[in-house]
Amino acid sequence: MNTVASELAASIRSIPDYPKPGIIFRDITTLLGDARAFRRAVDALVQPYAGTKIDKVAGMEARGFILGGAVAHQLSAGFVPIRKKGKLPHETVRIAYSLEYGVDEMEMHRDAVNAGEKVVLVDDLIATGGTAVGATQLLRQMGAEVVAACFVIDLPDLGGRKKLEELNVPVHTLVEFSGH
Give yes or no for a contact between 113 and 144, defined as CB atoms under 8 angstroms apart. Answer: yes
Indicate which residue of 63, 107, 117, 161 is catalytic: 63
176 is catalytic: no
The residues pairing with 151 across neighbouring beta strands, listed in sequence order, are 123, 173
Indicate which residue of 13, 100, 145, 165 is catalytic: 100
Q: At what angle do helices 3-10 and 35-46 cross, to 10 degrees?
A: 130
100 is catalytic: yes
Can you spell out the DSSP letters for the chain? --HHHHHHHHTSEEEET-SSTT-EEEETHHHHHSHHHHHHHHHHHHGGGTTS---EEEEETTHHHHHHHHHHHHHT-EEEEEEETT--SS-EEEEEEEETTEEEEEEEETTSS-TT-EEEEEEEEESS-HHHHHHHHHHHHTT-EEEEEEEEEE-GGG-HHHHHHHTT--EEEEEE----
Catalytic residues: 63, 100
